[in-house]
Amino acid sequence: MKTDSKSNSVGNRVHEIKVVPESAMEQAEDIWSLAFHPAWQREYFRRDMDTVFGVFEKDQLCAVTGMMDLQMRIGDQWVACGGVSALATAPGQRNQRLADQLMEHCLRDMHERGVVVSSLFPFSYPFYERMGYAVTHWHDEIEVPTAALRTLAAEGDATRWQMLPLDRSEETLDAHRRMCERYNLCIARSALHCRQVAYHPLHSHQYFIHPDGYMLWGLDQCHDRKLFVLEFVYNTEQAYFDGLAMFGQMDAQYDSVIWYDENHEALLRLGLPDPKPVIKRIPFTMSRIVDLQAFEKLLPRRRESAFGSLKVYDPLGVSAPKNGDISVGQLLQHVAGVWREPDPRFPPELYAILGEQPVYSIERF
């Protein structure tokens, strides 16, 4: 981790960007609690981050964000991914572009450490688009009447899903890793993050485990007789059938079940229930390339220049010039095959060359 500080001037005020020391961590927690939710356990932010950077005016913390050292599967390789989380600015310090400066500092830190890509779960998609990020992960939100699943999932065996205590949540990691091997741009889950997901301070959860998958139910989000499933990981078709069968058995308690999936085709192949399912395509995480040269080495069929005459740009100037034809986020979308059809603005020979597996990940941070 690089810990050198950087100074910037805004008007007559001088700001310094550096790792937040322990002596200023209470200020960081104050900003986070105000920006996100005052009921969050104050230590939640601290324990979730590998590094915390802040913008200081003398000893006063003005803006803060956290970084996590993650792994993303690109094609058939695992590469370093920098997760960015909890970007927040103190109310009196907003509208000075301090968050922009802080993000640039974080990305330069990642670049110097050889991190290949970065990913985040945005509070605003346009805000991060101007920093080179692009939406790389989409989810289908699926809502189905529970009674209909009793018929659709007749081949399933609900008894294969067993309740799993939260203190044994790490037993889901094998299924999560197997899921990642089926998808492109999938972010691995660490044991630490697994525990953080299980014991989120604002939510009540219940895990279920299967020989070929796991589920995470959001118990506090189950309202109006709707069962809310935050994560439904199935690595075989039988695990999927078994999961739907368990949802169907909940019809005395819930009228419908909501879950997220890479797409809805597995459900519709079983037939169309009445009333019809409600399916929404929603954006999820955003990503961008941090180290363009390291990323280029991942590409197959390398030529003298893997991108030919295509001019890649980085709005922050971290990994490429600030102007060009395709941003570092759009390039990741294109070569990973995020879109089902290639973007006609970009070379078709580069489309989906990093693997034919669909793009999917369930990590929130």
Q: What is the mean pLDDT of each run of 10 residues along the chain (365 residues)?
A: 56 84 92 79 70 95 95 96 95 94 97 97 96 98 95 92 97 98 96 90 93 98 97 97 96 97 94 91 98 91 66 96 96 95 91 91 92
pLDDT of residue 154: 87
Note every long-range contact of 335-339, with CB atoms under 8 Å and residues 24 or more positions apart, other chains counting: 335/299, 336/74, 336/136, 336/184, 336/185, 337/184, 338/135, 338/136, 338/138, 338/185
Contact (CB, 8 A) for 292 and 320: yes
Q: CA distances (Å), 263 to each of 72, 165, 167, 242, 268, in order?
A: 20, 29, 31, 18, 10
The span from the CA of 50 to the CA of 48, in Å, is: 7
The 3-state DSSP class for residue 88 equals strand
Q: Give the model's pLDDT for residue 31.
A: 93
Q: What is the Cα–Cα distance from 22 to 317, expressed in whole angstroms?
A: 31
Is the CB of residue 267 less than 8 Å from the CB of residue 232? Answer: no
pLDDT for the residue 315: 96
The torsion angles phi and psi of 81, rounded to 5 degrees, stand at -125, 130
Please provide residue 135's backbone torsions phi and psi, each rounded to the nearest 5 degrees: -70, 120
pLDDT given at position 9: 53
Please name the helix (run of DSSP H) or strand (run of DSSP E) that holds residue 196, with its range, or none. helix 191-198
CA–CA separation, 64 vs 271, rounded Å? 49
CATH top class, domain 6-115:
alpha beta
Give the CATH number of domain 138-283; options: 2.60.40.420, 3.90.1150.180, 3.60.20.10, 3.40.630.30: 3.40.630.30
Instruction: Check residue 5 and give its pLDDT.
Output: 61
Label each residue of 209-232 as H, E or C: EECCEEEEEEHHHCCCCEEEEEEE
Do you know the residue count of the chain?
A: 365
In the block, which residue shows the tokens 């999820």? Answer: 284
Rg value, the chain, Cα: 22
Query: What's the CA gap between 48 and 66, in Å, rounded?
Result: 8
- Measured CA to CA in angstroms, residue 304 lies from 226, 268, 300 at distances of 55, 46, 12
What pLDDT sits at residue 44? 65
Residue-level pLDDT at 319: 95
Is 279 in contact with 142 (CB distance < 8 Å)? yes
Structural tokens at position 88: 């927040």
Q: Give span(s): CATH 3.40.630.30, the chain.
A: 6-115, 138-283
pTM score above 0.75: yes
| For the chain, counts of helices (H) and of strands (E) | 11, 18
| Rounded-to-integer distance, Cα 173 and Cα 288, Å | 26
